[in-house]
Each structure stands twice: as structure tokens, then as C-alpha cells.
């Protein structure tokens, strides 16, 4: 045995605590790579599926729950953002031939329906309406959603799910430069305590909080450990299968720099007229710039849409004032918003996903994860930019995902005072692509 082999034998590997099943039990509706992923997750018991956008995490979770319920009994739970629910129901019925899984708000509803697979949303678990320990198995869809609740909710979820025998976390390839996200998943799955993982693999930066750097020489050990409990899948050929039907079309990024000179003049505190507008550098300045330039950006959005009268567009915005401005500029746009009735919101999402609506206005917080718009839409407009790269890249991949047949066009609008925001976005995008390749 070489010294290298000796060291690698000391690497922690996540234990297997699941069940072995006959591959013939897996639904024939699943593709080869999906079948292998489900068998691996069943065998592990507590695992993470980090599959690229469009590889079928929805159907894999449903099948994982179905098999566990068949062998172990009880009820299984899938926790998800509300906007994802129509996709789960459609795949359960049309792909797997199952009864439509019900959405439950309380434990009384869960016990009353006795369905084998239950759907609920993160807020119901967070607020204590749904008790994860009642279920045989629990799957978190779009697990990165927990980030939007903050680290406190991460810790709460770890406690709420602690001891659940079968657990699955699912998200597209997690941001590889956010090591703490991976550590949190490992902690949730009870593979390794988060504090132990931080101490084992990372050195701290005394000059910057939460800046984690892998110890030199520990990089390979860290990724081998991650691979023992998390399956990082970029394309079917990673598992030895054909990539036919899973090649991505070209993507054309179009930047639209808008001038702030069209806005009302700015004045100094002493009343003197400013010759130009200040550059938006920080979060406060960027937020002010977004508010002040709404009408300009809405007009540019309408111009882009008018130039392609037959294309379907998803139009991303962040503020209610932006949504109202878009409705004035594009009266035919169908929109959704947070306080809208859930049933109406789901119907509008499905109408756009199935091509019945041409223009769809939504927020990244509502539709930025889980929605599949690639069947009829190959164009997206970002009405504005900000520093939240993860939300941005998730929204891009609502249409730039496997099974997209047309070249994708992404229009990104920004003001001339937002150059620093744009440079930060582009830098994070390059880093994301580079480190995703490394993680694969």
C-alpha cells in the first residue's frame, strides 16, 4: 500500500443506512440516469441529489418516496416552494401514473387523507404546522431555498428533521464556492456534524467572517467525502449513459445599458444641481437606482418584446412598483404576485409553462426555482440586476435547461450607474462555471 492509499483509506465516507431494491421495481418511466440516481439514494438512506437543471429531480424524488413507502410503509413527505407544486402533481400523474399527491397545510389534513406521498411548503414546516417526524421519509426539493430564510432556519430545520430515518436533499448543482451550503446539507443529512466538518476541512479567515478556505492538501479528501453522500450530476454521461436529448443549445446574453440622463436631475444637499448621477456602488445605492429607473426599464422591456412579436418571454422583476410599471407598458402580460390566491397563481404558472400564455411577469422569489419553462419559451428579460447571483442563475435556468430546443436569449437591463453591480454579477458567473466544472 502506498502512503497516498493509506491516507485515502482514512477519509470519512458516509455510511449506508437505506434499502436495497431490485432495479426492476423502478418505474420504466424513469430514464437510465434517473433510475441509477434513485437506486443510489435508496441504498444510502440519507443522501443529496445535486443534478443539473432539467435532469429530472422531480420524478426522482417521487419515485424515491414511492419505493420507500412501498417497502417501509407509513407516509412520505416532499417539502418544496409553492411554485414548484404543479410540476410535482403533473409528473406524478402523467409520468408515473400515481394519484395526484395532496398539498397539506396541517397534520390534521395529513392524517385525514392518508395519501402515500404528501406535498407541503417550507413555511408550513418552519412554522410548526407539519411535523417531519411523523413521516417515514422526507425529501427537500430546491433545498437551496433555505438560504432565503437565513442561517437560523437552516439550524431550525436540522433540529426539526433530526432522527428522521430516510432523508433526501435536492437542488441543482449547489454553488461550489459556497462551502458552507454543502456543510449544511451534510449536517441536515446527519452525515457529519457541521462544526466537526468545519474543523476537519477548513481554516478560518480572521479578517473576514464566514470566509472558508480548504486546508492545503485536503481538497481531494473533501470532495471524496462530499461524493460519498452527494451525487453531483451535470449530464447523463457522468454515469456512463448517452447524452442524446440532453445537449444544451447556444445562449446569447444581451446587455442593455440604459442612461440615467433620462431621469430627473439629482441635486446636492445644498440644492446645487449635479452634472450627472452617482454610480450605484453599495446595496443601498443599488436599491435606490432600481426605484428611480423603473419607468425607463419598463419602456426598454416593452421595446424588446415588440421587436419579437411571436416569441414567448418570461420577464423577471423584483419590486411591486416594477410589476405595475410592466403592466402599464405591456397590458397583455400575465403576472403573479405573493398575495395572489394560490390556485390562481398555480394556474398562471402552468399556463405559461404549457405555452398558453406568451408574456409572463414574475419575481425570482416566486418562480426562480423549480419551474420548467423551456418547452415553449427561449427568451428571458431581467428588468434589473442586483448582487444576488444565486437567485439570478436559478432564474436563467428556468429556460436554459435540458430539453430546451431553441437558442436561448437572455436580455439583461442595467443603468449606466450600475457598472459595479454588473461587473460583480459577471465575475460570480465566471467563477460559478469554473468551479462547477471542478466539482463535476
pLDDT per residue as tens digits for the range 70-120? 999 999 999 998 878 888 998 999 999 999 999 999 999 999 998 999 999
Q: pLDDT tens track of the chain, all 440 residues?
A: 675 665 555 566 788 889 999 999 999 999 999 999 999 999 999 999 999 888 999 999 999 999 999 999 999 999 998 878 888 998 999 999 999 999 999 999 999 998 999 999 988 998 899 999 999 999 999 887 766 555 566 778 888 999 999 999 998 866 655 777 888 888 899 998 888 888 888 887 666 666 677 778 788 888 888 889 999 898 999 999 999 888 889 999 999 999 876 555 555 666 565 555 555 556 677 677 788 899 999 999 999 999 999 999 999 999 999 999 999 999 999 999 988 888 898 889 989 999 999 999 999 988 887 788 999 999 999 999 988 888 898 899 999 988 899 999 999 999 988 888 899 999 988 887 876 776 66
- Taking residue 208's Cβ as centre, other Cβ atoms within 10 Å add up to 8
pLDDT in tens, 31-45: 999 999 999 999 999
Residue 370: what are its φ and ψ, rounded to 5°?
Answer: 90, -25
**129-163: string of b/e by CB count within 10 Å (b at 16+)?**
bbebeebbbbbbbbbbbbbbeeeebbebbbebbee
Give the count of alpha carbons within 13 A of 299, CB side only: 8
User: Do residues 418 and 424 lie in contact, with contact meaning Cβ atoms separated by under 8 Å?
Assistant: no
Smallest Cα–Cα separation from 67: which of 94, 91, 95, 43? 43
From residue 415, alpha-carbon distances to 94, 160, 213, 262 in Å are: 45, 44, 35, 11
Residue 408: what are its φ and ψ, rounded to 5°?
Answer: -95, 135
User: Do residues 314 and 357 lie in contact, with contact meaning Cβ atoms separated by under 8 Å?
Assistant: no
Amino acid at each position: 500500500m502506498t502512503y497516498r492509499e493509506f491516507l485515502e483509506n482514512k477519509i470519512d465516507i458516509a455510511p449506508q443506512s437505506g434499502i436495497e431494491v431490485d432495479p426492476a421495481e423502478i418505474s420504466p418511466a424513469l430514464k437510465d440516469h434517473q433510475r441509477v440516481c434513485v437506486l443510489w439514494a435508496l441504498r444510502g438512506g440519507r443522501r443529496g441529489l445535486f443534478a443539473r437543471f432539467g435532469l429530472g429531480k422531480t420524478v426522482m424524488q417521487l419515485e424515491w418516496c414511492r419505493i420507500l413507502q412501498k417497502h417501509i410503509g407509513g407516509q412520505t413527505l416532499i417539502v418544496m416552494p409553492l411554485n414548484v407544486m404543479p410540476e410535482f402533481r403533473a409528473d406524478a400523474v402523467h409520468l408515473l401514473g400515481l394519484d395526484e399527491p395532496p398539498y397539506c397545510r396541517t397534520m390534521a389534513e395529513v392524517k385525514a387523507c392518508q395519501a402515500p406521498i404528501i406535498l407541503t411548503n417550507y413555511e408550513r414546516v418552519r412554522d410548526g404546522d407539519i411535523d417531519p417526524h411523523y413521516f417515514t421519509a422526507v425529501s427537500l426539493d430546491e433545498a437551496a431555498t433555505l438560504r432565503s430564510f437565513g442561517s437560523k432556519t437552516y439550524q431550525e430545520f436540522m433540529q426539526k428533521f433530526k432522527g428522521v430515518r430516510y432523508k433526501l436533499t435536492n437542488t441543482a448543482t449547489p454553488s461550489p464556492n459556497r462551502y458552507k451550503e454543502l456543510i449544511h446539507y451534510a449536517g441536515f443529512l446527519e452525515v457529519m456534524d457541521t462544526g466537526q466538518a468545519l474543523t476537519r476541512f477548513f481554516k478560518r479567515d480572521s479578517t473576514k467572517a464566514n470566509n472558508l478556505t480548504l486546508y492545503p492538501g485536503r481538497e481531494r479528501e473533501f470532495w471524496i467525502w462530499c461524493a460519498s453522500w452527494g451525487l453531483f450530476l451535470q449530464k447523463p454521461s457522468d454515469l456512463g449513459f448517452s447524452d442524446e436529448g440532453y445537449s444544451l443549445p447556444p445562449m446569447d446574453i444581451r446587455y442593455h445599458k440604459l442612461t440615467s440622463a433620462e431621469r430627473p436631475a439629482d441635486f446636492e444637499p445644498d440644492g446645487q444641481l449635479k452634472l450627472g448621477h452617482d454610480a450605484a456602488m453599495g446595496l443601498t445605492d443599488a436599491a435606490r437606482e432600481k426605484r428611480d429607473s423603473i419607468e425607463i426599464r419598463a419602456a426598454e422591456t416593452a421595446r424588446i418584446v415588440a421587436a419579437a412579436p411571436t416569441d414567448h418571454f418570461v420577464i423577471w422583476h423584483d419590486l411591486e412598483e416594477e410589476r405595475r410599471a410592466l403592466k402599464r407598458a405591456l397590458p397583455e402580460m400575465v403576472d403573479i404576485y405573493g398575495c395572489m390566491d394560490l390556485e390562481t397563481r398555480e394556474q398562471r404558472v402552468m399556463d405559461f409553462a404549457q405555452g398558453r400564455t406568451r408574456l409572463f411577469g414574475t419575481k425570482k422569489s416566486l418562480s426562480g426555482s423549480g419551474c420548467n419553462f423551456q418547452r415553449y419559451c427561449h427568451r428571458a428579460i431581467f428588468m434589473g440586476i442586483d448582487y444576488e447571483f444565486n437567485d439570478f442563475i436559478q432564474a436563467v435556468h428556468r429556460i436554459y435547461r435540458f430539453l430546451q430546443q431553441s437558442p436561448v436569449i437572455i436580455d439583461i437591463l442595467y443603468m449606466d450607474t450600475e457598472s459595479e453591480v454588473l461587473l460583480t454579477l459577471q465575475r460570480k458567473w465566471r467563477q460559478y462555471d469554473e468551479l462547477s466544472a471542478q466539482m463535476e
